Amino acid sequence: MPIPFIDLQAQRARLGQPLEDAIVKVVRSGAYIMGPEIAEVEKQLGVFGQAPFVLSCGSGTEAIQLPLMAWGIGPGDAVFCPSFTFAATAEVMPLVGASPVFVDVLPGTYNLDPVKLDAAIEAIKAEGKLTPRAVIAVDLFGQPADYPAIAAVTKKHGLKLIADSAQGFGCTLNGQHPIHWADVTTTSFFPAKPLGCYGDGGAVLCKDERLHDLLVSLRVHGQAVKSDIAGKTFDHDPKYLNMRIGMNSRMDTIQAAVLLQKLTIFEDEIAARNLVADRYAAGLGDVVSVPKVIEGGVSVWAQYTIETEDRDGLVAHLKAAEIPSAVYYPIPIHRQEIYSRYPAPGGLPVTDAAADRVMSLPMHPYLTPDHQDQVIAAIRAFVKRNG
């Protein structure tokens, strides 16, 4: 039986009939957009993620774009982010007219380097062409970035901080979720994420009620919200009174219904992912470079990513043994032609090196010890054969 890279069907079987009933309930209700499940999943995400305000939206990409719009970030502004991440992190800046500024990552965790971040902000300030406005830290592969250090840098420079937790929703650092340090946490519910729905979806978690109010408006075409019509008379649906330029970023009700079911087992799945990660570390730590988790951090292990000298050779070896693997990210964002025009002060040597060496192994809560032993044995055999 083939080894699945991510086994969504095993999870679906575990959730069983209640999941199917939840989907059918939405279908029968006719409330396909902004049905009651939307408000309920926002409430439960807030409880789980330690945030007083949650806005569901159409995708993880739009979850990042919405706060930039709410803060008025646009032309002439700089937003700092890693290059070693998916393009969605960086593409939102040009979408609002701002410029991404790429910053190197730490070896081992692959998350934003706070020292390099501070240096990059200083360099952009000294150049004087762009105005620093915000930082996007990414919880890459499922583990939290160094938020205490990053938040200290953003406070020093008066910048907003977004925790891009598309791969890391549920991760913690010293028991705290990223929103403890960040102005907002964003996440994606793309099906392959640790907490995924059955289509596209995302969410923005925040602590500021006024910001949340603006996000509610921006999510639905800039519609009027309570603060806009306080003391005024407007007896119609507020979506027909448009106070600002917004977008259409509503999450489908069916996706909220799926997430509500998945949230019932999410903590258990995080624990299971950590057992899988521990088995990998024990079986591979002496032959390849295995991931390092920040001290005090708990990863949700969206991916289990190793480093090896002959990455392409090992990928081919595993493929021949019918073992799946993946490479995230073979071309960092700053090396892609469309993004090469944007600044990367001081260069990104750690990012460039990682891009040539990393590969990810099968990782999900339902990976059996037998399947994992096959993966470990195949890697050890390759390393032994090739010295």
Q: 10-residue block means of pLDDT along the chain (387 residues)?
A: 92 97 98 97 97 98 98 98 98 98 97 98 98 98 98 98 98 98 98 98 97 97 89 83 96 98 98 98 97 97 97 97 97 97 97 97 98 98 90
Per-residue pLDDT, 370? 97
Q: Which CATH number fits domain 8-103+110-263: 3.30.930.10, 3.90.1150.170, 3.40.640.10, 3.20.20.210?
A: 3.40.640.10
Per-residue pLDDT, 2? 86
Which three-class secondary structure state does DSSP give residue 147?
helix
Please check whether the two domains, 8-103+110-263 and 266-385, share a CATH topology: no
190 closest CA partner among 59, 327, 361, 6: 59
139 closest CA partner among 106, 94, 92, 101: 106
Per-residue pLDDT, 364? 98
C-beta of residue 140 within 8 angstroms of C-beta of residue 107: no
Between CA 225 and CA 222 the distance in angstroms is 9
- φ, ψ of residue 144 to 5 degrees: the values are -70, 145
**Parallel, antiparallel or unpaired: strands 184-188 and 160-164:** parallel
- What string of DSSP letters covers 239-308? GGSB-S---B-PPBHHHHHHHHHHHTTHHHHHHHHHHHHHHHHHHHTTTSB---PPTTEE---S-EEEE-
Per-residue pLDDT, 196? 98
Between CA 87 and CA 90 the distance in angstroms is 6
**CATH homologous superfamily for the domain 266-385:** Aspartate Aminotransferase, domain 1 (3.90.1150.10)
- H or E stretch covering 171: none
Other CB atoms within 10 Å distance of the CB of residue 84:
27
What are the distances in angstroms from CA 39 to CA 18, 35, 256, 263, 294? 19, 8, 9, 14, 34
- Beta-bridge partners for 173: 176, 297
Q: Which of 129, 193, 232, 384 is catalytic?
A: 193
Active-site annotation holds for 156: no
Per-residue pLDDT, 77? 98
Q: Cite the DSSP H helix spans in the chain.
A: 8-15, 17-29, 36-49, 60-70, 88-95, 114-127, 147-157, 209-219, 226-229, 253-263, 266-284, 311-320, 349-355, 369-385
84 closest CA partner among 67, 64, 70, 103: 103
C-beta of residue 345 within 8 angstroms of C-beta of residue 119: yes
Full-model pTM: 0.96
Per-residue pLDDT, 66? 98
Between CA 371 and CA 6 the distance in angstroms is 12
Per-residue pLDDT, 205? 98
Distant-in-sequence, close-in-space partners of 172: CB < 8 Å, separation ≥ 6: 144, 297, 298
66 closest CA partner among 206, 241, 271: 206
How do the domains of the chain map onto residue ranges?
A: 8-103+110-263, 266-385
Between CA 170 and CA 144 the distance in angstroms is 9
Per-residue pLDDT, 226? 84
Query: Whose structure tokens read 């999900």?
Result: 364
